[in-house]
């Protein structure tokens, strides 16, 4: 069987190495390749050139723009508006969001009573999965974006009081991702303390500047590696189901 990852760029992506190691340990003859495409419009041509692809993972920046290329979406994609996993059977493409599963399962063990309000840094496809999970868990949240809007808070308007009131802060932006490891979301870090939980969806580097800033002030920190493993395993479960859409 043949699987892959689409996104751009993909030079430091997690999935190819993870699945190749998984296939070697399982001793199964499967392929997993990275397909960096500069535009989502290239997807039909990619699939035509590789008709044996049975499943794809989707990463930045195509989790939302891939939707018109799908024949069907599951409930979580419908709610979040973002897809990171595609099952392909006989040319029929169904989209799923396994980011939801990965984030939820990795976050729940860390939650404490004070984590009853959240700040979500970023407003893209990954942010939508986080919002879905927080809604399911009954945790109210505010979204922080570069410019701010009626629905979001701008970084320039974040105050120490806002940081203090939101003990759960989740970075869904690429700020701090390798190779730009010195970058970090511009929030008032001096207002973070030992009651905070900082979660970064980035896994490379292992500790982003965002997480380091939190750790230095006593916060509990978590990177995105476990989430990636859990979402990858959820993708594998979807791809190996015996029937389409079941």
63: annotated active-site residue: yes
* CB distance 98 to 90 below 8 Å: no
| CA atoms of 208 and 200, how far apart (whole Å) | 8
Enumerate helices (H) and strands (E) in the chain, giving the number of each.
8, 12
| CA atoms of 210 and 47, how far apart (whole Å) | 38
Biggest CA pair distance of the chain:
55
The SS3 of residue 95 is strand
Q: What is the helix (H) or strand (E) element at residue 35, kind and residue range? A: strand 31-36
Taken in order 37, 40, 43, 44, the sign of the CA dihedral is negative
Within 10 A of 214 (CB to CB), how many other CB atoms are there? 28
Q: What is the helix (H) or strand (E) element at residue 75, kind and residue range? A: helix 75-80
Q: Mind giving me the DSSP string for 203-221?
A: -SSSS-HHHHHHHTTT-EE
Tokens at residue 224, please?
């995105």
Q: Which of 21, 63, 89, 128 is catalytic?
A: 63
Could you give the residue numbers annotated as active site? 63
């Amino acid at each position: 069987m043949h699987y892959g990852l689409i996104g751009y760029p993909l030079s430091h992506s997690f999935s190819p190495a993870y699945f190749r190691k998984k296939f070697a340990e399982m001793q199964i003859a499967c392929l997993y390749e990275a397909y960096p495409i500069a535009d989502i419009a290239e997807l039909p041509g990619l699939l035509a050139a590789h008709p044996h692809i049975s499943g794809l993972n989707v990463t930045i920046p195509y989790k939302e723009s891939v939707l018109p290329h799908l024949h069907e979406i599951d409930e979580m994609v419908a709610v979040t508006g973002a897809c990171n996993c595609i099952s392909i059977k006989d040319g029929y493409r169904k989209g799923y969001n396994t980011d939801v599963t990965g984030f939820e399962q990795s976050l729940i063990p860390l939650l404490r009573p004070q984590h009853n309000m959240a700040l979500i840094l970023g407003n893209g496809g990954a942010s939508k999965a986080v919002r879905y999970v927080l809604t399911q868990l009954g945790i109210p949240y505010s979204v922080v974006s570069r410019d701010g809007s009626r629905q979001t808070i701008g970084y320039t308007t974040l105050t120490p009081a806002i940081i203090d009131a939101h003990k759960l802060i989740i970075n869904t932006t690429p700020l701090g991702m390798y190779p730009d490891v010195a970058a970090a979301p511009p929030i008032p870090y001096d207002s973070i303390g030992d009651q905070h939980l900082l979660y970064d969806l980035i896994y490379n580097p292992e500790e982003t500047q965002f997480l380091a800033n939190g750790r230095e002030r006593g916060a509990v920190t978590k990177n995105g590696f476990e989430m990636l493993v859990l979402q990858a395993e959820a993708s594998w479960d979807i791809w190996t189901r015996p029937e389409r859409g079941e």
